[in-house]
Amino acid sequence: MSSPKECLSLALILTWLVLLSICQDDLAVNREAEALLKWKDSLPSQSVFDSWVSPIQSSNDSTLLTPCKWYGISCNQAGSVTQIDLSDRGINGTLQNLDFTSFPNLVRLVLYGNHFSGTIPATIGIASKLQLLDLSSNSLHGALPLSLANLTQVSELDISRNNIGGILDSRLFPNASNQPQTGLRSLKYLLFQDTLLGGKIPQEIGNLKFLVSLVLDRSHFNGSIPPSLGNMSHLQALRLSENQLSGKLPETLATLKTLTDLRLLFNHFSGIVPKELGNHSSLNVLHLAGNNFTGQLPPQVCRAGKLVNFTADSNNFSGPIPVSLRNCTSLYRVRLEHNQISGYMDQDFGVYPNLTYIDLSFNKFQGELSPNWGQCKKLTLLKVAVNMVRGKIPDGILKLSQLVELDLSSNQLSGEIPAEIGNLTKLSFLSLKDNKLSGSLPAGIGSLSNLESLDVSMNMLSGSIPYQIGDFSKLRSLCMSMNKLSGGIPYQIGNLAYSLQELLDLSYNSLGGEIPHQLGRLTSLEKLNLSHNNLTGSIPDSFSNMVSLTDINLSYNSLEGPIPDSEIFQSAKPEVFSNNKNLCGNISGLHPCTKTEQKGGKNNKRKLLIIIVSSLAGALLISSLFFGIWRNQHTSKSQNSFSIWHFNGRILYEDILEATKNFDEMYCIGMGGFGKVYRVDIPGYDVLAVKRLNLQARDESEIETIKHFGNEVAALTEIKHRNIVKLYGFCCRGIHIFLVYKFIERGSLADMLRSENGAKELDWVKRLRVVKGVAYALSYMHHDHVPAIIHRDISSKNVLLDSKLEAHVSDFGTARFLNPESSNWTEVAGTYGYIAPELAYSMVVTEKCDVYSFGVLIVEVVMGKHPEELISCLRSSDKASIQHKDVFDPRLLPPTGLIADKLGSIMKVAISCLSANPQARPTMRIVSELLEIVQLPTDE
Ligand SMILES: *[C@@H]1O[C@H](CO)[C@@H](O)[C@H](O)[C@H]1NC(C)=O
Ligand SMILES: *[C@@H]1O[C@H](CO)[C@@H](O)[C@H](O)[C@H]1NC(C)=O
Ligand SMILES: *[C@@H]1O[C@H](CO)[C@@H](O)[C@H](O)[C@H]1NC(C)=O
Ligand SMILES: *[C@@H]1O[C@H](CO)[C@@H](O)[C@H](O)[C@H]1NC(C)=O
Ligand SMILES: *[C@@H]1O[C@H](CO)[C@@H](O)[C@H](O)[C@H]1NC(C)=O
Ligand SMILES: *[C@@H]1O[C@H](CO)[C@@H](O)[C@H](O)[C@H]1NC(C)=O
Binding site as annotated, residues: 691
User: How confident is the model at residue 173, as a pLDDT?
Assistant: 23
pLDDT band at 781 (very low <50, low <70, confident <90, very high): confident
Is residue 699 within 8 A of residue 518, CB to CB? The reply is no
Higher-confidence residue of 868 and 337: namely: 337
Residue of the nearest CA to atom 6 in ligand 3?
292
* Cβ of 294 less than 6 Å from ligand 3: yes
Specify the amino acid at residue 662: N
Query: Of the candidates 151, 53, 31, which has an alpha carbon nearest to the alpha carbon of residue 103?
Result: 31
Phi, psi of 723 (to 5 degrees): -105, 20
Instruction: Name the least confident of 800-809, 816-825, 862-871, 930-939.
Output: 816-825
177 C-alpha to center of ligand 4: Å?
10
What's the CATH number of domain 631-742, 1.50.10.20, 3.30.450.20, 3.30.200.20, 3.40.50.2300? 3.30.200.20
Cis peptide before 787 (omega within 30 of 0): yes
3-state SS, 684-743, equals CCCCEEEEEEECCCCHHHHHHHHHHHHHHHHHHCCCCCCCECCEEEEEEECCEEEEEEEC
Question: What are the residue boundaries of the structural domains of the chain, listed by start?
Answer: 18-192, 631-742, 749-933
What's the CATH number of domain 749-933, 1.10.357.10, 3.10.290.10, 1.10.510.10, 3.20.20.140? 1.10.510.10
* For range 150-156, the mean pLDDT: 79
Binding site as annotated, residues for ATP: 691
Say if 631-742 and 749-933 have the same CATH topology.
Answer: no
Query: Of the candidates 383, 382, 434, 430, which has an alpha carbon nearest to the alpha carbon of residue 413?
Result: 434
Enumerate residues 6+ apart whose C-beta is below 8 A from 423: 398, 399, 401, 447
115 C-alpha to center of ligand 1: Å?
8
Residue of the nearest CA to atom 11 in ligand 2?
147
Site residues for ligand 6, CB cut-off 6 Å? 329-330, 353-354
Atom of ligand 6 nearest to the CA of 331: 14
Residue of the nearest CA to atom 4 in ligand 5?
327
Which ligand is located closest to the Cα atom of residue 323?
Answer: 5
Whether domain 18-192 has CATH 3.40.50.300: the reply is no
Q: Give the 3-state secondary structure of residue 879.
A: helix
271 C-alpha to center of ligand 3: Å?
9
292 C-alpha to center of ligand 3: Å?
6
The fraction of the chain above a pLDDT of 70, given in percent, is 76
User: How confident is the model at residue 237, as a pLDDT?
Assistant: 92
Which residues are marked as active site? Answer: 793
Phi, psi of 112 (to 5 degrees): -65, 160
Produce one character per residue of 649-660: b if its CB has 16 or more CB atoms within 10 Å, e if not: beebbebbeebb
Q: What is the mean pLDDT of the chain?
A: 79
Atom of ligand 2 nearest to the CA of 150: 1
**CA-based torsion, 923, 929, 935, 939: positive or negative:** positive
Model pLDDT for residues 243-280, shown as the tens digit of each residue: 889 999 999 999 999 999 999 998 999 999 999 999 99
Whole-angstrom Cα distance, residue 304 to residue 330?
10
Choosing from 175, 181, 265, 313 the residue with most ligand 4 atoms within 8 A of its CB, the one to mutate for a pocket test is 181
pLDDT band at 15 (very low <50, low <70, confident <90, very high): very low
* Cβ of 510 less than 6 Å from ligand 3: no
Site residues for ligand 5, CB cut-off 6 Å? 323, 326-327
User: How confident is the model at residue 291, as a pLDDT?
Assistant: 94
3-state SS, 454-481, equals EECCCCCCECCCCHHHHHCCCCCEEECC
pLDDT band at 165 (very low <50, low <70, confident <90, very high): very low
Which ligand is located closest to the Cα atom of residue 376?
Answer: 6
Residue 62 has pLDDT above 50, yes or no: no
pTM (global) more than 0.75: no
Site residues for ligand 4, CB cut-off 6 Å? 284-285, 308-309, 332-333
Model pLDDT for residues 583-619, shown as the tens digit of each residue: 998 888 888 888 777 644 444 433 333 333 333 333 4
Model pLDDT for residues 884-903, shown as the tens digit of each residue: 556 889 899 888 888 888 88
73 C-alpha to center of ligand 5: Å?
56
Residue 803 has pLDDT above 50, yes or no: yes
Which ligand is located closest to the Cα atom of residue 327?
Answer: 5
